[in-house]
Chain A
Amino acid sequence: MSLFGAVIALGILALIFGVILGFAAVKFRVESDPIVDQIDEILPQTQCGQCGYPGCRPYAQAIADGDDINKCPPGGEATIKQLADLMGVEAKPLDDAHGEEDVKKVAVIREDECIGCTKCIQACPVDAILGAAKQMHTVIEHECTGCDLCVEPCPVDCIDMVKVKARPETWQWDLDTVKENIKANSIPVKVVE
Chain B
Amino acid sequence: MSDVQANKHNFSAKVIGHFPGGVHPPERKQPASSQPIRKLKLPQELILPVRQHIGPSGKVLVKVGERVDKGQRLTEAGLSQGLPLHAPTSGTIAAIEERPTAHASGLPEQAIVIHPDGEDRWGNKHALPDYHDVEISRLLELIQEAGIAGLGGAGFPTAQKLAQQKPLKHLIINGVECEPYIAADDRLMQEHADDIIAGIRILQYITRCDSVLLAIEDNKPEAIKAMAEAIDDNPQIQLKVVPTKYPSGGEKQLIELLTGHQVPSGKLPMDIGLLMQNVGTAYAVKRAIIHGEPLLERVVTLTGESLKQRGNVWALLGTPIQHLLDESGFTPEKKQRIIMGGPMMGFTLPITEVPVIKTTNCVLAPTEKELPSPGPELACIRCGACADACPATLQPQQLQWLAKAKDYESLEKHNLFDCIECGACAYVCPSEIPLVHYYRKAKAEVRNIAREKAKAEQARKRFEARQERLEREKEERLERHRKAAEERKKMQQEMQQEAQQKNSDEPGSKAEEGTEKPAGKSAAVAAAIARAKAKKAAQAAKESPEESNSAKGNES
- A residues sitting closer than 8 Å to B (CB atoms) are 40, 43-47, 55-57, 125-128, 142-143, 145, 166-168, 170-175, 177-179, 181-182, 184-185, 187, 189-193
Contacts and interface: CB of A to CB of B under 8 A. Distances in A.
Given A167-B109, A187-B99, A189-B353, A172 B460 contact: no
A128 B458 CA distance: 11
B437 A173 contact: yes
Contact of B463 (A45, A170, A179): A45
Interface string B238-263: 00000000000000000000000000
A179 B350 contact: yes
A166 B105 contact: yes
21 contacts: A45-B455, A55-B463, A125-B463, A126-B463, A167-B107, A170-B448, A170-B451, A171-B104, A171-B107, A171-B444, A173-B440, A173-B444, A181-B105, A182-B350, A182-B351, A185-B99, A187-B97, A190-B351, A192-B349, A192-B350, A193-B336
A119 to B, nearest CB: 16
Interface string B335-351: 11110000000001111
Contact of B109 (A168, A173, A184): A168
Given A143-B459, A170-B444, A181-B100, 7 more contacts: A126-B459, A168-B103, A170-B448, A191-B350, A192-B349, A192-B352, A193-B334
A168 B107 contact: yes
Interface centre among A127, A168, A179, A185 (most CB of B within 10 A): A168
B465 interface: yes
A174 B350 CA distance: 13
A54 B444 CA distance: 33
Contacts of B337: 192
A47 B109 contact: no
B441 interface: yes
Interface string B97-118: 1111101111111000000000
Interface centre among A174, A185, A190, A193 (most CB of B within 10 A): A185
A20 to B, nearest CB: 36
B460 A56 contact: yes
B100 A190 contact: no
Contacts of A178: 104-106, 350
A89 B128 CA distance: 70
B462 interface: yes
Interface centre among A179, A182, A189, A192 (most CB of B within 10 A): A192
Contacts of B107: 166-168, 171, 181
B108 A185 contact: yes
Interface centre among B353, B441, B452, B459 (most CB of A within 10 A): B459
B459 A192 contact: no
A178 B437 CA distance: 14
Nearest to B469: A127
Contacts of A168: 101, 103, 105, 107, 109
B357 to A, nearest CB: 11
Nearest to B338: A192
B328 interface: no
Contact of A143 (B103, B108, B458): B458
B378 interface: no
Give the interface SS of chain A, mostly helix, strand, loop or mixed.
loop
Contacts of B208: none
Contacts of B351: 182, 189-192
Contact of B459 (A47, A166, A184, A185): A47
B445 interface: yes
A20 B459 CA distance: 41
A173 B104 contact: yes
A146 B317 CA distance: 38
B456 interface: yes
A127 B466 contact: yes
B504 to A, nearest CB: 52
A24 B362 CA distance: 66
A109 B353 CA distance: 34
Contacts of A170: 444, 448, 451
A60 to B, nearest CB: 10
Nearest to A186: B98
A142 B455 CA distance: 8
A128 B463 CA distance: 10
B219 interface: no
Nearest to A182: B106
B368 interface: no
Contacts of B335: 193
B515 interface: no
A45 B466 contact: no
Interface in B300-356: 322, 332, 334-338, 348-353
Contact of A181 (B332, B338, B350, B467): B350
B457 interface: yes
A127 B465 contact: yes
B336 A192 contact: yes
B469 to A, nearest CB: 8
Contacts of A40: 460
A106 B337 CA distance: 37
Contacts of A125: 463, 466
Q: Which 3 A-B pairs have the closest CB atoms?
A: A45-B456, A45-B459, A126-B462
Contacts of A43: 456
A155 B218 CA distance: 73
B405 to A, nearest CB: 13
Contacts of A184: 108
A172 B337 CA distance: 22
Contacts of B463: 45, 47, 55-57, 125-126
A15 B104 CA distance: 71
Interface string B347-390: 01111110000000000000000000000000000000000000
B151 to A, nearest CB: 20
Nearest to B466: A127
Nearest to A104: B452
Contacts of A187: 97, 99
A45 B348 CA distance: 38
A189 B351 CA distance: 7
Interface string B18-43: 00000000000000000000000000
A120 to B, nearest CB: 14
A62 B457 CA distance: 20
Contact of B100 (A47, A55, A142, A189): A189
Nearest to B449: A78
Contacts of B464: 57
